[in-house]
Amino acid sequence: MNDIPKRTVARGAKLATLPLGVAGRGAIGLGKRLGGRPAELVAAELQARTAEQLFQVLGQLKGGAMKFGQAMSVFEAALPEEVAAPYRAALTKLQEAAPALPAATVHAVLADQLGPDWREQFATFDDKPAAAASIGQVHKAVWSDGREVAVKIQYPGAGKALLGDLRQLGRLARIFSAFSPGLDVKPLLKELEARVAEELDYRLEAESQGTFHDAFADDPDICVPGVVAFADRVLVTEWIEGVSLAVIIREGTQEQRDRAATLLATFLFSGPVLAGLLHADPHPGNFRLLSDGRLGVIDFGAVNRLPDGAPEPIGRLSRLALEGRADDVLDALREEGFVKPGITVDAEAVLSYLRPLLDPIAGPTFQFSRDWLRGQAMRLGDPRSPASQLGRQLNLPPSYLLIHRVTTGTLAVLCQLGGEAPFRALMQKWQPGFAPPGTVDAPSRR
């Protein structure tokens, strides 16, 4: 124990109190309900207090707060909205609280990672960070050959602390299981830990970005900046300038919104086929419209390795659901592990649960909107609705963890954009299994 930093021990001890705090507040809540307080009001109070404790304890994650936010987002679709909302608000506060590294610390990391002569590799280097990443920050610089570059620097100690915290958070598994008995949480957390470990390795990120860069090198619609240099905790890539999707969401024209929606969907659908990888962090800040009309893509720390392309069952399940084949849909869900053995669900109810989510690919074009997303959230999140009750019986297999992150994240971005695009045609072109048997299916990487 003596060789473990005291701050790490203290953080672990506080993390261990989270499930106990939830249990204690649950007992108090039961007492209040027995005393006549409305169950809904008591539940809201409990969730708000638990979320505040989460903020106070996890605030010590520092740079890892954003990464933990990604971890929590995996479970949002499986939890009722009244449960998820307070946690989402607390995690937003965490993400906004990450401080910038002092210039002296930045220089020390660069010297350690790129060598004591690191300054000679740059013509100029801006000490003020241009952006914050999930476990580090980005600086703008000019490489020695005159190219403008982005320099991503990982927070010192972020990796070790974050992985330790994620292991401690395995204690929260029974909380999620209580709300969603069909969700097998522990293997999900194990898979998440493995994926986060990959995101901490900038050498792996450089390899992934290089693969995407080569795959889309001659693409007329997608631009992936090339890798210039890398080390374990520093990544130098070409700088790209464009209008962030966050800006388009806020003030873009309808033409920009339609273009961005089409290109975002095109990139995410085609990546597994062309690169054998799925970009797994669909945050608006990771995408921008360039002056030449292409979509620029950055941040390849989170990827899903799909050497055979996107899983065929996704396309097949979507097609079967659109065709109204309830029994076949349920059989395929059981086969893939979305319905655990011993869980009994009605096939028609499952179809009713899934079918509205496929509206974007049911017709030639679809215009995403916040209203559509709110309608789906109300349908799936209201604990009194049949869809919400059924959703709690469904499982998320670990192999679909990052695909789930991409799907939910992309839906949110598309609805914020409010763009209209031919999503069905894109699905038909790139997603194996979606084309009816006997027709030309989507390409794959076999």
The span from the CA of 47 to the CA of 29, in Å, is 10
Q: 444, 426, 427, 403: which is closest to 274 by C-alpha?
A: 444
Name the token pair of 271. 């990546």
For residue 303, what is the enclosing H or E element? strand 303-305
Domain boundaries along the sequence of the chain:
6-99+158-198, 243-446
Which pLDDT tens digit goes with each residue over 235-269? 999 999 999 999 999 999 999 999 999 999 999 99
The span from the CA of 80 to the CA of 155, in Å, is 34
For residue 366, what is the enclosing H or E element? strand 366-367
Count of CA atoms in the C-beta half-sphere (13 A) of 393? 19
The span from the CA of 65 to the CA of 9, in Å, is 18
Name the token pair of 225. 């900046």
- The pLDDT of residue 84 is 53
**Distant-in-sequence contacts of 139-142, Cβ < 8 A, 24+ apart:** 139/106, 140/239, 141/236
Which pLDDT tens digit goes with each residue over 304-362? 999 989 999 999 999 999 999 999 999 999 999 999 998 899 999 999 999 999 999 99
User: Is residue 421 predicted with pLDDT exceeding 80?
Assistant: yes
User: Is residue 437 predicted with pLDDT exceeding 70?
Assistant: yes
| Number of other CB atoms surrounding residue 383 within 10 Å | 14
User: Is residue 91 predicted with pLDDT exceeding 60?
Assistant: no
- pTM here is 0.79
Q: What is the dihedral of CA 395, 401, 405, 407, to 10 degrees?
A: -70
SS3 for 280?
coil
How far, in Å, are 121, 153, 278, 393 from residue 150 at the CA level? 13, 10, 22, 44
User: Is residue 28 predicted with pLDDT exceeding 50?
Assistant: no
Which pLDDT tens digit goes with each residue over 188-239? 777 777 777 788 899 999 999 999 999 999 999 999 999 999 999 999 999 9
**Which stretches does DSSP call E strand in 126-189?**
131-132, 136-143, 148-154
Lowest mean pLDDT among 31-35, 130-134, 366-370, 432-436: 31-35
Summarize the confidence of residues 163-177 as an average pLDDT: 61
Looking at the DSSP assignment, which residues form a beta bridge with residue 287? 297
Sort strands 295-297 and 287-289 into parallel, antiparallel or unpaired: antiparallel
Which pLDDT tens digit goes with each residue over 348-391? 999 999 999 999 999 999 999 988 988 888 888 777 888 888 98
Cβ distance 63 to 98 under 8 Å? yes
What average pLDDT does the structure give for the chain? 80
Cβ distance 389 to 379 under 8 Å? no
Summarize the confidence of residues 70-90 as an average pLDDT: 48
Phi-psi region of 59 (alpha: psi -120 to 50; beta: other; left: phi over 0): alpha
- The pLDDT of residue 101 is 84
Counts of helices then strands in the chain (DSSP H, E): 18, 14
pLDDT band, very low/low/confident/very high, at 89 (cuts 50, 70, 90) = low
Lowest mean pLDDT among 5-19, 23-37, 152-166, 329-343: 23-37
- The pLDDT of residue 12 is 44
Which pLDDT tens digit goes with each residue over 123-147? 999 999 998 766 789 999 999 999 9
Looking at the DSSP assignment, which residues form a beta bridge with residue 154? 136
Higher pLDDT, 73 or 362: 362
Cβ distance 150 to 236 under 8 Å? yes
